[in-house]
Amino acid sequence: MTRAATTSDVFNAIAEPQRREILVLLRAGERSVAELAQELGMTQPGASKHLRVLREVGLVRDRKAGKQRLYGLDASGLRPVHEWTGCFEQFWNESFDRLDAYVKDLKQTRKAE
Amino acid sequence: MTRAATTSDVFNAIAEPQRREILVLLRAGERSVAELAQELGMTQPGASKHLRVLREVGLVRDRKAGKQRLYGLDASGLRPVHEWTGCFEQFWNESFDRLDAYVKDLKQTRKAE
DNA sequence: TTGACGTATGCCGATATCGGCATGCGATTG
DNA sequence: CAATCGCATGCCGATATCGGCATACGTCAA
């Protein structure tokens, strides 16, 4: 095999920092492609391509508004990601416990020097 | 610019399905590389490479155990992902509302035909 | 020390990705 | 219809990614 096809997967779509920025911006409401491109400092084709990926995985919806095309958020696709990470929630405290033990050990070592 | 460097980022690390499987398996406890490879049906070098990525972003910790190297979960790195997606939680219901309205509109249209 | 085992790393090929650029397409305006 | 605007798409180059293979590295046992 060569390389796994990761596109058309929500986890992959939000792996791109710029695409995450787009989603954050869209929380404030619908935007045109040009507006998004300008606010995020990217070219129009660049914004359009990222929006396409987000559209294909269902994270944004577009509607025509005259010459413009307004993109809006459809965050329901983020729910699986939220739930998947939530399955590890019980391990966060454990991690902190381990870190805590590590710090205590460090202090002990410093005292001994 | 050429391509953005996405590695050494948790979002990118969990964009790989096999890496997500590794994390899920490690919830049950520490495993050696060979065990992970066998349980997930991948080669030993393949498992080792994925584990390296997960280690570099801090999602797993390794410790030596004789000839073996046991990998364990450190899920604290998943917390930012959980929180980031959580920022969109308020939009999930909205999304359903919009879908609901869309379905209603469809029914209306069908009635009119 | 030598051999065996478990793991990591290096190299390669195939492919996917991203950014920039030019251009094509659709809708509006005159 | 022609011109223009907003957006999408295609092509390209540079690079990153993943899987497979061979091999180097480190540890333990004899």
- The nucleotides of chain C lying under 7 Å from a protein CB are 5-10, 13-23, 26-29
B71 has which bridge partners? B31, B62
Same domain, B63 and B82: no
Query: What are the chain B neighbours of A76 within 8 Å (beta carbons)?
Result: 91-92, 95-96
The answer to whether the C-beta of B64 is closer than 7 A to strand D is yes
pLDDT tens for each residue of A65-81: 999 999 999 999 999 99
Q: Give the confidence band of B1 by pLDDT, cuts at 50, 70, 90.
A: low
Instruction: Specify the pLDDT at position A8.
Output: 77
For the record, the structure tokens of B54 come out as 């997960």
Nucleotide nearest to B46 (CA to C1'): D19
Same domain, A53 and A35: yes
Query: What are the chain A neighbours of B98 within 8 Å (beta carbons)?
Result: 61, 74
Chain-chain contact of B78 with A88 (C-beta, under 8 angstroms): yes
Same domain, A66 and A101: no
The verdict on B112 touching A (C-beta cutoff 8 Å) is no
Q: Which helix (H) or strand (E) holds B12?
A: helix B10-13
Same domain, B30 and B82: no
| Cβ pairs bridging A and B (under 8 Å) | 93
* B101 or A71: which leads in pLDDT: A71
Same domain, A46 and A29: yes
For the record, the structure tokens of A103 come out as 């710090």
Q: Give the confidence band of A38 by pLDDT, cuts at 50, 70, 90.
A: very high
Mean pLDDT for A21-42 is 97
For the record, the structure tokens of A61 come out as 């919806």
Same domain, A46 and A98: no
What residues make up the domain containing A107? 78-113
Instruction: Specify the pLDDT at position A44.
Output: 98
Are the C-beta atoms of residues A88 and B78 closer than 8 Å to each other?
Answer: yes
Same domain, A5 and A49: yes
CA B108 – CA B54 distance, rounded (Å): 51
Nucleotide nearest to A68 (CA to C1'): D6
Asked whether residue A14 carries a pLDDT value surpassing 50, the answer given is: yes
Residue B63 CB contacts under 8 Å (≥ 6 apart), including other chains: B69, B70, B72
Mean pLDDT for A15-25 is 97
The verdict on A26 touching B (C-beta cutoff 8 Å) is no
Among A60, A61, A45, residue whose Cα is nearest residue A10: A60
Are the C-beta atoms of residues A53 and A9 closer than 8 Å to each other?
Answer: no
pTM, two decimal places: 0.84
Same domain, A42 and A65: yes
User: Mean pLDDT across chain A, nearest whole number?
Assistant: 86
Same domain, B83 and B68: no
Instruction: Give the nearest chain A residue to B92 (CA atoms).
Output: A76
Asked whether residue B9 carries a pLDDT value surpassing 60, the answer given is: yes
Same domain, B12 and B50: yes
Instruction: Specify the pLDDT at position B8.
Output: 77
Instruction: Specify the pLDDT at position B111.
Output: 47
The verdict on B55 touching A (C-beta cutoff 8 Å) is no
Instruction: Specify the pLDDT at position B92.
Output: 83
* A17 or B97: which leads in pLDDT: A17
Q: Count how many domains chain A has.
A: 2
Asked whether residue B113 carries a pLDDT value surpassing 50, the answer given is: no
pLDDT tens for each residue of B35-68: 999 999 999 999 999 999 999 999 999 999 999 9
C-alpha B108 chain-centroid distance: 41
